[in-house]
């Protein structure tokens, strides 16, 4: 019985009081050690013991109480904001097909549970597969799910995952975990972020020490959080959705894939549906592992769910949301007849447009030096005419930075991009890049991989051969933002993925030349598989 | 002494009666709230169906009967008030919608239309909301019914004539074989 069953199973949050006591004890210890050191070093015993020993202890206790109250208050009341900031979660986009489903599912869970407690849902921009729930003493409650998981779950599986997280919140055990996480884990995660930026310098040492210290404290707190709560939430999710098989399928899907190591910090693992950094504790079940681990073995959870549904393991047939399979094509390169009547090339279409003599009647060909009456020789106008789309009402008011032609709004994997039909370049809002990468499956064949390696190798040398060639002809290839007209900032996607892209920081958009988006995805996916192979 | 015991006993009984009465009222209100939720979602579905029918009508020349089925089922569901009959009518509306969705899948033009996709997602979501609201309602009715029937609370329920609720589920005898199609 939805409302009542949650009421009955609502747990007493006694552990939160325990955490507070632990915090007081830690600060007391800390203050006591410092005070004793000062006394010992400076021989100030007469200063400190002016009153009595009781006053001395009382002063330290008062200090510990004040500081731990402030620490606890800040942590417990701002847990949601801090975690959300840490994982860079964003509000779902109502214009996006997949996000709309997420919002609807959240609404369905509210109805099914009969709970009046409002939960917000957010999306984490990463390709990893995970979901987490967090609440705080303010009463704010959030479920965040990664773009990667969202792109792979069918509707009923998504419902099951959301119900699992919602149950954590309704039953109150999420509050304990959130407070436990926010006491140390969130700070550890934040410091890890800072640490990475100063890693090569000796200045990193204090960060490393602090990080290690907070992480160890976080681990102590973890001991008080039982891994049983995951079984209970699984059972609660089944009570809400009445579909154990869907949850088993979802868990099976998450198991063995990249569940967010490197993006979701270890300190937040208590909040997640599956531990982002699976370690040996998670796989076994003796008392020590029970104590140290926050998540039971995922296989065991799947077994329990399947027993509930009275079906065998063989019925789990890897049901997964079909994703758009995409075979990247290498962009057609053209040779062109320049102003001095010689064939030059090969160039991309967008590069051709940068030449001053380039007009609609310029002759282009796909082969190096064709004779004048060769079939392959055609004028630019002919090619352009072929590529004009039938549906012209998708035309936007933005112009392609290369061809100066209006970009076309194109629906693509449940979101939309602005594409130039002539040079195939795309303008994508920054927060949509991950959605596209998550929702399509890319097949990088050997030919494309070779090209990709060549481009990244060139990027390493920071100048491509093609650009050099353009430079010799004294052409400035400066891309202007189609939205605001300012010149875009050319930079690498990230230092891990060396693809040079044009970004506009004002409009938060990125311009991808024809095959750059595909190349980026190939790179990222190869990197992930490499990382998984390395770890295994 | 005896007088005191009697007074204590009577006041304990009164206390229990008030407690039990309040519990029954809360339980009854829960049921009513759950019902209003079903009602809201059913109305939402009635409103969405004409939009979807209008959006796909132009493309479906060969499957006119499927569309007519949906429209007829909607009209029937809207006009029925009696609870088990209404549940049956709603069920046949659900199954007629399912077969409509199966057909939409066959038309690439419709699948590419943002408007149709939006309407379809809205309808699927409403469909799920109805199912969940119904699940909640039936659970709460069961909960309430048990409260009204178990021994001590029963006396209060009968004294104050607490109404009984019907479950919102289709008559098993009238249930037809529904085409098995996946909604997602
Ligand atoms: Zn969980
Ligand atoms: Zn263009
Ligand atoms: Zn701009």
> Residue A149: what pLDDT?
92
DSSP A278: -
Highest mean pLDDT among A193-202, A372-381, A467-476, A526-535: A372-381
Domain boundaries, chain A: 5-76, 78-316, 392-535
Picking from A142, A156, A307, the residue whose alpha carbon sits closest to that of residue A242 is A156
Under CATH, which architecture does the A78-316 domain have? 2-Layer Sandwich (3.30)
Check whether A471 has a pLDDT greater than 70: no
User: pLDDT-derived band of residue A145, with 50, 70 and 90 as boundaries?
Assistant: very high
**Domain residue ranges in chain B:** 2-173
Question: What is the number of the ligand closest to the CA of A132?
Answer: 1
Q: A180: exposed, middle or buried (C-beta count within 10 Å: 0-12, 13-18, 19+)?
A: buried
Looking at CATH, the fold of the domain delimited by B2-173 is given as de novo design (two linked rop proteins) (1.20.1440)
Shortest alpha-carbon distance between residue B63 and chain A (Å):
27
pLDDT of residue B180: 42
What is the phi/psi pair of residue A294, to 5°? -100, -15
pLDDT of residue A132: 93
Sign of CA dihedral A150, A151, A153, A155: positive
CA A216 – CA A207 distance, rounded (Å): 14
- Cβ-contact A142, A120 below 8 angstroms: yes
Query: Are A155 and B124 an interchain contact pair (Cβ–Cβ within 8 Å)?
Result: yes
Enumerate the H helices of A242-297 as residue ranges.
Answer: 244-254, 280-283, 287-292
Q: What pLDDT, in 10s, does the model give residues B135-150?
A: 999 989 988 888 888 8
pTM of the complete model: 0.84
* Structure token digits, residue A192: 């890890």
* pLDDT tens per residue, range A399-414: 888 878 888 888 888 8
**pLDDT at residue B178, rounded to an integer:** 44
Share of chain A above pLDDT 90, in %: 19
Ligand 1 centroid – CA A259 distance (Å)? 14
Which of B124, B135, B140 is nearest residue A112 as measured by Cβ atoms?
B135
What is the whole-number distance in angstroms between the Cα of residue A93 and the centre of ligand 3?
A: 20
What phi-psi label fits residue A462: left (phi over 0), alpha (psi between -120 and 50 degrees) or beta?
A: left
Q: How far is A115 from chain B (nearest CA, A)?
A: 10
CA of A438: how far to CAs of A153, A319, A363, A401, in Å?
12, 17, 40, 27
Give tens-digit pLDDT for A231-248: 989 999 998 998 999 999
Position A289 scores a pLDDT of: 66
* The pairing of beta strand A120-124 with beta strand A141-146: parallel
Give me A424's structure tokens.
């195939």
**Do B132 and A111 count as a contact with CB atoms less than 8 A apart?**
yes
How many Cβ contacts (< 8 angstroms) between chains A and B? 54
Query: Which position has the token pair 């009445």?
Result: A242
Q: Which two tokens stand for residue B28?
A: 């009854």
Q: What pLDDT, on a 0 to 100 scale, did the predictor assign at position B86?
A: 83
Which pLDDT score is estimated for A250?
A: 92
Question: Which of A3, A106, A109, A111 to probe the B interface (max B CBs under 10 A)?
Answer: A111
pLDDT in tens, A66-90: 999 999 999 889 999 989 998 889 9
Cα–Cα distance for residue pair B10/B6, rounded to 1 Å: 6
A46: pLDDT confidence band, cut at 50, 70 and 90?
A: low
pLDDT at A171: 86
Contact B118 A100 (CB under 8 A): yes
A140: three-class secondary structure by DSSP? coil
Report whether pLDDT(A204) > 70. no
What local confidence, expressed as pLDDT, does residue A9 receive?
Answer: 53
Determine, for residues A108 and B125 on separate chains, whether the beta-carbon distance falls below 8 Å. yes
The C-alpha angle B3, B4, B10, rounded to 5 degrees, equals: 90
Residue A255 carries which DSSP code? Answer: T
The label of the residue with tokens 């950094």 reads: A277
* Position A297 pLDDT exceeds 90: no
Q: What pLDDT score was predicted for residue A421?
A: 82
Give the model confidence (pLDDT) of A444-467 as tens digits.
777 777 777 777 777 666 554 555
How much is the pLDDT for A158?
95
User: Are A46 and A104 a contacting pair, CB within 8 Å?
Assistant: no
DSSP labels for A167-194?
A: HHHHHSHHHHHHHHIIIIIHHHHHHHHH
Contact residues on chain A for B128, CB-CB shorter than 8 A:
104, 108, 155, 159
DSSP letter for each residue of A206-254: HHHHHHHHHHHHHHHHHTTS-THHHHHHHHHHHHHH--HHHHHHHHHHH
pLDDT at A70: 94
**Segments of chain B with pLDDT less than 70:** 170-184
A7: how many CB neighbours lie within 10 A of its CB? 12
pLDDT at B99: 87
**Tell me, what DSSP letter sits at residue A12?**
P
Q: Are residues B183 and A2, on separate chains, in Cβ contact within 8 Å?
A: no
């Amino acid at each position: 019985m939805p409302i009542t069953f949650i009421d009955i199973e609502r747990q007493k949050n006694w552990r939160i009081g325990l955490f507070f006591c632990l915090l007081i004890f830690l600060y007391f210890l800390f203050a006591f050690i410092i005070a004793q050191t000062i006394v010992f070093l400076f021989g100030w015993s007469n200063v400190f013991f002016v009153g009595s020993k009781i006053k001395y202890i009382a002063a330290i206790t008062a200090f510990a109480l004040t500081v731990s109250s402030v620490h606890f208050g800040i942590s417990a009341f701002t847990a949601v904001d801090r975690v959300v900031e840490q994982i860079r979660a964003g509000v779902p986009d109502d214009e996006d097909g997949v996000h709309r489903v997420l919002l609807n599912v959240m609404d369905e869970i509210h109805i099914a549970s009969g709970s009046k407690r409002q939960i917000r849902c957010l999306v984490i921009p990463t390709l990893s597969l995970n979901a987490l729930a967090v609440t705080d003493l303010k009463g704010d409650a959030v479920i965040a799910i990664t773009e990667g998981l969202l792109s792979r779950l069918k509707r009923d599986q998504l419902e099951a995952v959301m119900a699992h997280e919602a149950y954590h919140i309704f039953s109150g055990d999420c509050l304990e975990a959130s407070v436990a996480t926010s006491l140390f884990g969130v700070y550890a995660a934040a410091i890890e972020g800072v640490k990475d930026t100063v890693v090569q310098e000796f200045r990193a040492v204090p960060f490393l020490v602090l990080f290690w210290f907070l992480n160890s404290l976080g681990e102590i707190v973890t001991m008080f959080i039982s891994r049983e709560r995951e079984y209970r939430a699984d059972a609660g999710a089944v009570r809400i959705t009445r579909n154990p098989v869907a949850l088993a399928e979802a868990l099976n899907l998450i198991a063995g894939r990249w569940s967010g190591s490197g993006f979701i910090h270890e300190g937040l693992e208590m909040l997640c549906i599956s531990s982002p950094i699976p370690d040996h504790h998670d796989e076994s079940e003796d008392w020590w592992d029970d104590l140290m681990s926050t998540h039971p073995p995922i296989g065991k959870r799947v077994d329990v769910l399947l027993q509930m549904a009275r079906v065998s393991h063989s019925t789990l047939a890897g049901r997964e949301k079909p994703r758009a399979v995409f075979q990247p094509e290498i962009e057609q390169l053209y040779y062109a007849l320049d102003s001095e009547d010689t064939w030059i090339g090969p160039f991309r279409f967008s590069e051709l447009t940068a030449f001053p003599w380039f007009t609609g009647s310029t002759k282009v060909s796909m082969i190096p030096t064709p004779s004048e009456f060769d079939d392959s020789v055609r004028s630019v106008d002919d090619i352009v005419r072929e590529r004009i789309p039938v549906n012209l009402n998708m035309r936007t008011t933005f112009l392609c930075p290369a061809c100066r032609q209006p970009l076309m709004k194109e629906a693509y994997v449940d979101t939309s991009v602005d594409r130039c039909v002539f040079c195939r370049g795309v303008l994508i809002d920054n927060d949509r890049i991950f959605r596209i990468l998550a929702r399509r499956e890319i097949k990088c064949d050997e030919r494309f991989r070779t090209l990709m390696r060549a481009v990244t190798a060139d990027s390493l040398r920071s100048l491509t051969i093609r650009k050099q060639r353009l430079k010799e002809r004294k052409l400035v290839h400066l891309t202007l933002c189609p939205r605001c007209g300012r010149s875009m900032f050319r930079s690498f996607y990230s230092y891990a993925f060396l693809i040079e892209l044009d970004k506009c920081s004002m409009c938060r958009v990125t311009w991808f030349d024809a095959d750059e988006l595909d190349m980026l995805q190939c790179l990222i996916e190869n990197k992930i598989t490499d990382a998984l192979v390395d770890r295994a | 002494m005896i007088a005191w015991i009697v007074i204590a006993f009577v006041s304990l009984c009164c206390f229990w009666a008030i407690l039990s009465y309040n519990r029954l009222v809360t339980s009854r209100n829960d049921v009513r709230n759950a019902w209003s939720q079903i009602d809201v979602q059913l109305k939402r579905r009635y409103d969405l169906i004409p939009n979807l029918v209008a959006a796909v009508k132009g493309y479906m020349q060969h499957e006119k009967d499927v569309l007519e089925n949906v429209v007829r089922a909607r009209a029937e569901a809207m006009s029925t008030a009696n609870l088990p009959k209404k549940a049956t009518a709603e069920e046949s509306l659900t199954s007629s919608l399912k077969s409509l969705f199966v057909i939409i899948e066959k038309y690439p033009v419709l699948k590419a239309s943002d408007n149709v996709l939006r309407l379809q997602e809205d309808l699927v979501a409403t469909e799920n909301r109805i199912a969940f609201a119904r699940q909640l309602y039936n659970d709460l009715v069961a909960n309430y019914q048990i409260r009204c029937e178990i021994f001590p609370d029963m006396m209060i329920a009968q004294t104050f004539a607490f109404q009984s609720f019907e479950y919102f589920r289709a008559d098993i005898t009238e249930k037809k074989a529904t085409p098995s199609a996946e909604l997602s």
